[in-house]
Amino acid sequence: MTKRNDISVPQGYFQNLEQRLSRIPQQEVRPSTFQKVSPWLAYAASLAILATVGGFVFRKAAAPVQEDYSWDYISYLSRSVDPDGVVELEENADLTDEDIVNFLLADNSISVELLAEANYEEDN
C-alpha cells in the first residue's frame, strides 16, 4: 500500500492552531484555594474511612465468637423453604412442631435428614 496523506484539514488550520496554542500561557487559569486543598481533603477523607472500616474489622476480628445455640424454627425454616409458607406458619399460633414437620415433609421442600439435624440442634 502506498503511503499518501489521505486526510485533509480546513484551509489555514495549522496557522490558526499555532495561534490558538500560543495563547495558552495567557489563558492559564490559576487553581482556586479549593482546588489546591482538595487533594489534601481527599487524602484526609480516605484516612478517616480507612480508620472507621479498619476499626470495625479489627473489633469484629478481636471479639470472641459467641455461638448461638438457641434454635428458632421460624428463622431456620426461613433459610430453607418458601418465605410465604413460613409467614403463613408463623401466623398460625395453634400449629405444633409436629404439624410443621408434617407440612414440610409433605411440601418436599426439606429433607428428613435436615429436619433430624434441626431437631438434634434444638435438643442440645
Partner 1 sequence: MDSLEQTFNTIVKDYSERLFWHVRRMVNSHEDADDLLQDIFLKIWTALPSFRGEAQLYTWVWRIATNETLNHLRKERVRAALRMQSVDTEMERRIEADPYFNGTAAQRELAKALVRLPEKQRQVFVMRWWDELSYEEISAITGTSVGALKASYHIAQEKVKLNLSELDVSK
**Alpha-carbon distance 40 to 121, whole Å?**
55
Q: What is the end-to-end Cα distance of the chain in Å, rounded?
A: 84
Kindly state whether residue 14 participates in binding partner 1, applying the rule CB under 8 A.
yes
Kindly state whether residue 8 participates in binding partner 1, applying the rule CB under 8 A.
yes
Q: Which is nearer to partner 1, 21 or 65 (CB)?
A: 21
**Alpha-carbon distance 124 to 70, whole Å?**
9
Kindly state whether residue 36 participates in binding partner 1, applying the rule CB under 8 A.
no
Residues sharing a CB contact under 8 Å with residue 78, sequence separation 6 or more, in sequence order? 86
Task: Quote the least distance from Cβ 11 to partner 1, whole Å.
Answer: 12
Kindly state whether residue 6 participates in binding partner 1, applying the rule CB under 8 A.
yes
**Alpha-carbon distance 124 to 96, whole Å?**
19
Binding mask 15-34 for partner 1 (x = CB under 8 A): --xx-xxx-xx--x------
CB count in 10 Å sphere of residue 23: 9
Q: Which is nearer to partner 1, 24 or 93 (CB)?
A: 24
**Alpha-carbon distance 117 to 119, whole Å?**
5
Q: Which is nearer to partner 1, 8 or 96 (CB)?
A: 8
Kindly state whether residue 3 participates in binding partner 1, applying the rule CB under 8 A.
yes
Contact positions toward partner 1, by CB under 8 A? 1, 3-4, 6-10, 14, 17-18, 20-22, 24-25, 28
